[in-house]
Chains A and B, each alone.
Chain A
Amino acid sequence: MIRQRFLNTANNVPAPDVGTSERTMMWIADEYKRLRPEDINALGCVTGKPLGGGGIEGRVEATGRGVQYAIHAFFDTPELVDPIFGDARLSGKCVAIQGFGNVGAHAALFLSKEDGCKITSIIERDVVLTNPNGINVDDLIAHRDAIGSIANFAGAKCQEPTPNALLADCDILIPAAVEGVITADIARKTPAKLIVEAANGPCTFEAAKILDDRQIQVIPDLYANAGGVIVSYFEWVKNLGHMPFGLLERRYHEKGHRVLTSTIERTVGASLQWNEDASYLSGPTELDMVRSGLEEIMRRTLMRIITEQSARGGDIRSAAYRLAINQVADAYRAIGL
């Protein structure tokens, strides 16, 4: 593909997906550099590379992190959350996740550890885990890393998967595996009030109509799982810039923050009482900047989707598609087509 000019930094840039990883991306980058030694931007021919190979902090967690930010943005939007949940608190909500790969595991980890959600079901090809009190995701990741599967995990009830496993009792259902799993039949019966499409295409077209009729909200794939490509964008820009984010300004900001706090302390004649947010005194690390940029895009995008939805109606997915199509059409319009 490199020889056919179908894969290079300017024209076509791959990233990891189902069945591929950081290491696969590094093999591609390595081969590309061998074939194009004169290309100073060779590292940008692929994203999702390991940190030591030109990758960026926060890329592995990016899609799962983006799913979390999409859910935060949803819960901070009263017109979306009020009609389906009696209270707009994410903490305590029961979550069922299908797929415990990179995306599912990170989403489960962040939602349970940082947001107080209970991961009550994890549905995999070979096993279904349930625990009404919430699965300890750290323990489950350690178990998976040790034996290569989430089966036989002591912290949950383990059962054989059945076609109805996706109908697990939950508030939020997160399909994070493959396409086509939320069929019309699942859509008619799911007890979930909110479905977050961490995978691409999990709801069929027919299922999406049924969910809309049942007033079950769906955060659609093109928004919910965009975190991966967003952080890939940051990585690619870092590769083209040949410099990590934050290198130039981190110390400058840190000094500024310290001058500001010591001035306030001298002026009021008391020392400031800091809590855990004292980390904000330091300038941002690359990871801070990646997460901040990702959150900004996820929050800004949901606001644009809601504005579009209230203007022309339809479900969240239709509004998102209209924004996307218009954006592409604008590019054609700009060159006079």
Chain B
Amino acid sequence: MSSSFLSDVEAFYDLAVKDLALPEGVGEKIKVANATYTTRFGVRLRDRMFTFTGWRSAHSNHQSPAKGGIRYAPNCTVEEVEALAALMTYKCALVGVPYGGSKGALCLDPSDWT
């Protein structure tokens, strides 16, 4: 479901961009995420080591800083994070907030660790 979230956001994008007369290649550049950082880190808890995986995607840096939430959820994926980061770019641009778009996620269920 998560990977189709990214393809859905891209489909919404494609539907809209075809009605705009952008210079060749610009539409493709705006669509893709600039950079996605993966982190895997270990934490010693309850007498053993646990490894956690997370991502931070900066979809666009056409304005600084890139802005977006960090979610903690057990089932998140890198595609979901990139879809949400893209939405942040479009959201900020639409409402005129001078930010690029970003999003992060950490794969864990917060209720397991509190």
Question: Interface on A for B, CB 8 Å cutoff?
Answer: 1, 4, 6-20, 24, 28, 47, 179-180, 200-201, 204-205, 208, 221-223, 225-226, 228-230, 232-233, 297-298, 301, 305, 312-314, 317-329, 331-332, 337
16 sample A-B contacts, Cβ–Cβ < 8 Å, listed by A number: A11-B64, A17-B103, A18-B71, A24-B72, A47-B67, A179-B80, A201-B84, A228-B69, A229-B68, A229-B95, A319-B16, A322-B20, A325-B16, A325-B22, A325-B30, A329-B20
Selected contact of A327 from candidates B8, B13, B94, CB within 8 Å: B94
A223→B102 CA distance, assembly (Å): 16
Q: How far is the CB of A33 from chain B (nearest CB, A)?
A: 17
Taken residue by residue from 22 to 66, chain B's Cβ proximity to chain A (1 for < 8 Å, 0 otherwise) reads as 100011011000000101000000000000000010101111111
Out of A24, A179, A229, name the residue touching B91 (CB < 8 Å): A229
B10, chain A: closest CB distance, angstroms? 9
| Residues of chain A lying within 8 A (CB to CB) of residue B80 | 179
Q: Taking beta carbons and an 8 Å cutoff, which residues of B are in contact with A?
A: 1-2, 4-5, 7-9, 11-13, 15-17, 19-20, 22, 26-27, 29-30, 37, 39, 56, 58, 60-73, 80, 83-84, 87-99, 102-104, 109-110
Question: In the assembly, what is the distance between CA of A325 and CA of B8, in Å?
Answer: 16
**A1 with B39: in contact, given A200-B84, A317-B12, A332-B26 (CB under 8 Å)?**
yes
- Given contacts A19-B71, A332-B29, whether A12 and B17 have CB atoms under 8 Å apart is no
Residue numbers in A under 8 Å from B93 (CB-CB): 323-325, 327-328
- Determine the chain A residues whose CB is within 8 A of the CB of B110 once the complex forms: 19-20
Q: A19-B72, A179-B1 are in contact. List 18 more A-B contacts (CB 8 A).
A: A8-B65, A11-B65, A13-B65, A15-B68, A15-B69, A18-B73, A20-B71, A180-B8, A201-B8, A205-B7, A205-B11, A223-B91, A226-B92, A228-B69, A233-B67, A321-B16, A327-B96, A328-B62
Task: List the B side residues contacting A28 at CB < 8 Å.
Answer: 70
Q: Which residues of B contact A7 (CB under 8 A)?
A: 56
Contact yes or no, A223 B94, CB < 8 A: yes
> How far is B90's CA from A259's CA once the two chains are assembled, in angstroms?
45
B62 to A18, Cβ gap below 8 A? no
Residue of A8, A11, A12 most packed against chain B (CB within 10 A):
A12
Q: Contacts of A229 on B, CB cut-off 8 Å?
A: 67-68, 88, 91-92, 95, 97, 99
Residues of A within 8 A of B30 (CB): 325, 328-329, 332
B102/A321 in contact, CB under 8 A: no
A298, B104: Cα distance in complex, Å: 25
In chain B, what residue has the closest Cβ to A17? Answer: B69
A324 touches B68 (CB 8 A): no
- Specify the chain A residue showing the minimal Cβ separation from B75: A178
Q: Return the contact of B16 from the options A4, A297, A318 (Cβ within 8 A).
A: A318
Closest-by-CB residue of B relative to A45 is B65
* Contact (Cβ within 8 A) B96 A297: yes
Partner of B37, one of A6, A8, A222: A6
Closest B residue to A204 by CB, please name it: B8
Q: Nearest Cβ distance between residue B16 and chain A, in whole angstroms?
A: 3
Given A324-B94, A328-B62 in contact, is the A204-B70 Cβ separation under 8 Å? no
How far apart are A4's CB and chain B's nearest CB, in angstroms? 7
Q: Which residues of B contact A325 (CB under 8 A)?
A: 13, 16-17, 20, 22, 27, 30, 90, 93
Taken together as a complex, chains A and B put the C-alpha atoms of A301 and B97 apart, in Å, by: 11
Min CB–CB distance A8 → chain B (angstroms): 8
How far is it, in angstroms, between the C-alpha of A322 and the C-alpha of B2 when the chains are bound? Answer: 24
- Cα–Cα, bound, A17→B104 (Å): 9
Residue of B nearest to A234 (CB): B97
Q: Roughly how many angstroms separate A17 CA and B65 CA in the complex, as a whole number?
A: 18
For residue B109, which residues in chain A have a CB less than 8 angstroms away from its CB?
A: 19
Return chain B residues, CB-CB under 8 Å to A322: 16-17, 19-20
Q: Separation in Å of the A325 CB from the closest CB of chain B?
A: 6
Q: With a CB–CB cut-off of 8 A, which chain A residues contact B5?
A: 179-180, 201
Which 9 pairs across A and B sit closest by C-beta, in order of nearness? A17-B69, A19-B72, A321-B16, A327-B93, A324-B90, A17-B71, A324-B93, A205-B8, A331-B62
Q: By the criterion CB–CB under 8 Å, are B64 and A10 in contact?
A: yes
